[in-house]
Amino acid sequence: MGKEILPSLLLFGLVVWVFLPSLDGQFIDYDDQAYVTGNSHINLTLANVVWAFDHTAVANWHPLTMWSLMLDHQLYGLKPWGFHLTNVLLHAVNTVLVFLVLRRMTGATWRSLMVAGLFGLHPLRVESVAWITERKDVLSVTFWMLTLWAYARYVGMSKGQSPKSNFYYGLTLLFFALDLMSKPMVVTLPCVLLLLDYWPLDRWPQKSLRSLLVEKAPFFLLSATVSVATYLTVKNSGLLTKEWSGVSLSFGARLENALVSCGRYLGKLFWPVDLSAFYPYPDHWPAQKILFAGLLVLGLSVLVFALRRQQPYLLTGWLWYLGTLVPVLGLVQAGFQSLADHCTYIPSVGILIIWVWGTHQLTKGWHYQSIGLGAAGGVLVLVCIGLARHQIGYWKDDVSLWRHAVAVTENHYDTHNRLGIAYFLQGRMDEAIGEFQEVVRLNPGFAPAYNTLGRSFAAQGRAKEALASYQKALEIQPDYGVARINLGNLLLQMGRVDEAIASYQKTLETDPNDVSAINNLGYALRQGGRVDEAIVQFQKVLQIEPDNAETCYNLGAALTLQGRFDEAIVCLQKALKINPKVAAAHYSLGFAFHSKGRLDEAIRELQETLRLMPDYPGASNGLAIVLGLKEKLAKQPTNSSQP
């Protein structure tokens, strides 16, 4: 154990130092919203803990991942550096665990250390670490490696027939269950346990394949259950549909892409340049690329099988790589990326084992093998550090990330669309419009681009162009609720209240529970003087979302128009309890208090309005009126009865 402490500490410290710049990164508008910034269940409460266990996030069931994000939110609030720090620390722990597990299984200290170093510092790791959404990646590998560690202890104990072997078997099963609760991709881990039985644990000669399979039966049962549940969840979520992904591939096309991806992942492992947050599907893969990839996979498979007796690590490493890639090769289409860097997090370990052990075997006859391999390994580590640090820089914000993706991928509408959204979120409307116009040039039938183009025009006050863009989006996709709501918002801004009302009502024909449409319909009805109908709509929203602060405010404001001040005060106070920084709610509450003669409370709310928004319309005059009224009342003589 003493020989492991210093290398482990050095590995941990080096990995943390290399990935420390990722703490400067912001939340990325690429699932980070669904997981953290826009997740209404991000607070660490018992109700949300239960919610994470029986609900999905982005069509994935991974409660342990969600709990870890809730804990980060409890510790750091919505400060991205805290979430990034947890990812970095988990990745550093994973790197150390790779070293410790391999050393325990093989007894080879320096080879295990080199595999762990290359694994931990490789630039392909950047996406898993620097992207908060990929918490599921780094957390799942922590439990993956703990499962392997417990399994190695179990095997060692069972050889000596120690009664502790049952404890470590149970611990292995527990770690695997936690692994599945972190990320469903790990369903292939039982197969990896069988591979480790072959090498380096060397159990195949002592035990029959049947007994080894029986031993893994509980693991396979857990994997099968999660696999079926994951498929049904993804299918029911709509992620398998063309409407969501924008593409619909035949099984043959998916198989071709899977084959090519096996080769592309190998290429990126050995030549990690032009890494991107998104790799689009091409129109089609050229026949020569498919043929080359097929021959590569087949040739390497035949080679490692032929050498399995002399060099058993080849078979284990290669099948580890292929087997752990299977769940993410897109054979079941769930999205529109052809591959992703984070998908190499677990599979790369198999190839690195082949690389390091193979290099050691090929140089066995060298007089200065240790010096030569040490120097070569040092150079590789330095190269990985430089490339990883450079890649981290692209993950600092949305614009940097998607500008790089546009630069390293061939013209594809989705990368331009994401870059346009990034510009829009930064208020850079001219650049956003340019990107969205490029999107519709590349894919004229992509309705979301017309919608965001309309929002960009609207932000610049170009109402006519915004109107045309929304109408085009709805021409392509008539049931596009978001575009229809945006159209209604624009019409309302233009003073075309009746048309806005009609637009919201049309949205609700498709989705009667669309909270945004109901709330905006209520607002439009209020603007049109139809206050009774507006109140009905706001009450509908609060039946669906009782803690919707915006609707609580809207309802309170509508009730004040009807002189129902007591009810209005209750609604406005609830709105401010949920979100105390809404100046308009403070102003309306101050008006309601004034109307009820509660002047001190009215003064307090109007002062808070001006603190939050010094130029809020009418707040200064309203405060002056209430202060004057209070002063006038204070000067009035108090009636006293004569004895």
pLDDT of residue 334: 63
Q: What is the pLDDT of residue 242?
A: 47
Confidence of residue 262 (pLDDT cuts 50, 70, 90): very high
Would you give the distance in Å from CA 448 to the centre of its chain?
20
pLDDT > 90: what percent of the chain? 82
Q: Which residue has the tokens 């330095």?
A: 382
Mean pLDDT throughout 250-257? 88
Q: Which residues contact 236 (CB under 8 A, 6 or more apart)?
A: none
**Tens of pLDDT, residues 322-348:** 999 999 888 876 667 889 999 999 999
Q: What are phi and psi of 207, to 5 degrees?
A: -125, 145
pLDDT for residue 612: 93
Average pLDDT, the chain: 92
The per-residue pLDDT for range 495-506, each reduced to its tens digit, is 999 999 999 999
Per the model's pLDDT, the better-predicted residue between 57 and 358 turns out to be: 358
The band of 643, judged by pLDDT with boundaries at 50, 70 and 90, is very low
d(Cα 623, Cα 578) in Å, to the nearest integer? Answer: 24
* Neighbour count for residue 377 (Cβ, 10 Å): 18
Is 19 within 8 Å of 388 (Cβ atoms)? yes
| pLDDT beyond 80 at 518 | yes
3-state SS of 471-497?
HHHHHHCCCCHHHHHHHHHHHHHCCCH
pLDDT value at residue 640: 45
State the pLDDT at residue 338: 87
The predicted pLDDT at position 632 comes to 86
DSSP 149-215: HHHHHHHHHHHTT-THHHHHHHHHHHHHHHHHTT-GGGGGHHHHHHHHHHTTS--TTTS-HHHHHHH
Flag whether pLDDT at 313 surpasses 70: yes
Q: What does the pLDDT average to over 444-452?
A: 95
CATH 1.20.810.10 fits 567-630, yes or no: no
The angle at the Cα of 175, spanning 167 to 6, to the nearest 5 degrees, equals 90
Question: Residues 468-482: what's their mean pLDDT?
Answer: 96
Global pTM reads 0.87
Torsions phi, psi for 16 (to 5 deg): -60, -45
Window from 70-84, 321-335, 430-444 with minimum mean pLDDT: 321-335
Contacts of 495 (CB under 8 A, 6+ apart): none
Give the helix ranges, DSSP H, for 494-564: 497-510, 515-527, 531-544, 549-561
Under the banding of pLDDT at 50, 70 and 90, the label for residue 633 is: confident
Domain spans, the chain: 2-395, 567-630
The most confident of the ranges 236-250, 573-587, 628-642 is 573-587
Q: What is the pLDDT of residues 219-244, one digit of tens each?
A: 999 999 998 888 777 666 555 544 44
Banded model confidence at residue 472, pLDDT cuts 50, 70, 90: very high
SS3 337: strand
Which residue has tokens 């936690």? Answer: 178
- Using the predicted structure, report yes or no on whether residue 383 has a pLDDT greater than 90: yes
Torsion of CA 376, 379, 385, 387, to 10 degrees: -100
The arithmetic mean of pLDDT across residues 128-155, rounded, is: 97
Q: What is the reported pLDDT for 237? A: 57
Q: Which tens digit of pLDDT belongs to each residue from 549-580?
A: 899 999 999 999 999 999 999 999 999 999 99
Whole-number pLDDT of residue 642: 40
Nearest to 462 by CA among 470, 451, 454: 454
pLDDT at residue 379 greater than cutoff 70? yes
Res 335: pLDDT:
65
